[in-house]
């Protein structure tokens, strides 16, 4: 006879609260530990689990791990409990079946489903900083906040080498005053929310950006867009993980998701480790970009 479990079921809201609690545990226990105990008291009930960082697996828990919670943990806990000593960079792209992230004019709202949009807000909530390119701000005018989920909005950095974006965009008007720009070091500016880096070959160098992030003591970096910015971090080998959302639509023409140099020999192309998750009408491809 199968032994009856004395574990209780939990809501999606409680499960997400445990993910946020895991983030706090990792921040406090930022050493070479491999086992992390996460617990949270919710309405006088203590929910807890033990996570093995090496196996990327929950070993012990006092609640039922249903399919939704298992997927939630599988997606977010490896990011939170990553083993890098340097900043961990994750990118997200939502693309059509034929590989486009926007129309030719740049319109991209909304290619993905509401489930994936909520997923993006969850990525923001576990991140320490969000990075976007100037074109993403100019075309989409995002707030880059966590308004759809529980969790604090992180620091937001826009790569605006020519300092062309005005203060009226939504990302710069949030009341927390936690939005910044990186501009060319040759441009004079009195704005306090400005960082300056050298521009080489008409672009910031990814290594310089990561060095800045490291000095700011930020550990999880969400490269939210757009395609050019994510492609540059990917091509330079700095991107650790990519969440690629495949949406069930065909544009026929548009802006490609990846803008990298073409590789002519298949034998030179690295094969990535990948997991798939259903996300509303979309499919999320969780791509581990760590090379062996």
The tens digit of pLDDT for each residue in 55-81 reads: 999 999 999 999 999 999 999 999 999
CA 39 to CA 21: how far, in whole Å? 7
Mean pLDDT within 174-185? 94
Whether residue 238 is contained in a domain is answered as: yes
The per-residue pLDDT for 85 is 87
Q: Are residue 214 and residue 102 in the same domain, yes or no?
A: yes
Q: Are residue 179 and residue 261 in the same domain, yes or no?
A: yes
Q: Does residue 107 carry a pLDDT above 70? A: no
Whether residue 257 is contained in a domain is answered as: yes
The tens digit of pLDDT for each residue in 260-278 reads: 666 667 666 777 889 999 9
Domain boundary among 31, 48, 80: 80
Q: How many domains does the chain have?
A: 2
The per-residue pLDDT for 1 is 52
Q: Are residue 49 and residue 117 in the same domain, yes or no?
A: no
Whether residue 206 is contained in a domain is answered as: yes
- Rounded to 5 degrees, φ, ψ at 58 are -80, 120
The per-residue pLDDT for 30 is 65
Q: Are residue 234 and residue 267 in the same domain, yes or no?
A: yes
The per-residue pLDDT for 225 is 84
pLDDT tier at 251, thresholds 50, 70, 90: confident
Q: Does residue 6 carry a pLDDT above 70? A: yes
Q: Are residue 206 and residue 124 in the same domain, yes or no?
A: yes
The per-residue pLDDT for 292 is 56
Pick 191 or 21 by higher pLDDT: 21
- pTM value is 0.93
Q: Are residue 35 and residue 135 in the same domain, yes or no?
A: no
Whether residue 1 is contained in a domain is answered as: no
Helix (H, G, I), strand (E, B) or coil at 245: strand
Q: Are residue 193 and residue 211 in the same domain, yes or no?
A: yes
The two structure tokens encoding residue 245: 């959302």
Average pLDDT, the chain: 91
The per-residue pLDDT for 5 is 65
What is the residue range of 46's domain? Answer: 12-80
The per-residue pLDDT for 268 is 67
pLDDT tier at 3, thresholds 50, 70, 90: low
The per-residue pLDDT for 291 is 66
Whether residue 39 is contained in a domain is answered as: yes
Instruction: Find where tokens 């012990």 sit.
Output: 60
For residue 148, what is the domain's CATH number? 3.40.430.10
Whether residue 283 is contained in a domain is answered as: yes
Query: Which of 78, 32, 72 is CA-nearest to residue 290?
Result: 78
Mean pLDDT within 226-240? 92
Q: Radius of gyration (Cα) for the chain, nearest Å?
A: 20
Q: Are residue 61 and residue 186 in the same domain, yes or no?
A: no
Q: Are residue 103 and residue 179 in the same domain, yes or no?
A: yes
The per-residue pLDDT for 96 is 92
Beta bridge partners of 71: none
Q: Are residue 47 and residue 125 in the same domain, yes or no?
A: no
The per-residue pLDDT for 270 is 72
Instruction: Provide CB contacts within 8 A for 7, sequence distance 6+.
Output: 61, 62, 63, 64
């Amino acid at each position: 006879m199968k032994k009856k479990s004395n574990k209780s079921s939990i809501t999606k809201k409680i499960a997400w609260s445990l993910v946020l609690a895991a983030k706090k545990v990792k921040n406090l226990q930022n050493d070479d530990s491999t086992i992390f105990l996460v617990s949270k008291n919710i309405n006088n009930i203590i929910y807890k689990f033990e996570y093995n960082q090496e196996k990327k697996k929950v070993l012990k828990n006092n609640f039922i791990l249903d399919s939704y919670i298992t997927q939630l943990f599988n997606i977010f806990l490896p990011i939170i409990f990553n083993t890098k000593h340097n900043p961990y960079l994750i990118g997200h792209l939502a693309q059509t079946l034929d590989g486009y992230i926007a129309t030719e004019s740049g319109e991209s709202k909304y290619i993905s489903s509401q489930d994936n949009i909520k997923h993006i807000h969850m990525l923001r909530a576990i991140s320490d900083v969000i990075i976007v390119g100037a074109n993403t701000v100019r075309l989409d005018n995002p707030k880059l906040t966590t308004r759809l989920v529980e969790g604090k909005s992180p620091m937001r950095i826009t790569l605006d080498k020519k300092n062309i974006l005005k203060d009226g965009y939504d990302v710069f008007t949030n009341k927390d005053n936690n939005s910044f720009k990186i501009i060319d070091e040759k441009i004079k500016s009195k704005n306090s929310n400005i960082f300056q880096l050298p521009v080489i070959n008409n672009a910031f160098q990814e290594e310089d950006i990561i060095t800045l992030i490291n000095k700011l003591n930020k550990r999880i970096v969400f490269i939210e867009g757009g395609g050019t910015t994510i492609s540059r971090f990917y091509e330079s080998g700095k991107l650790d993980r990519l969440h690629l959302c495949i949406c069930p639509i065909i544009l026929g023409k548009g802006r490609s998701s990846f803008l990298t140099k073409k590789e002519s020999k298949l034998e030179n192309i690295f094969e990535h480790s990948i997991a798939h998750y259903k996300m509303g009408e979309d499919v999320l491809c969780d791509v581990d970009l760590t090379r062996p």
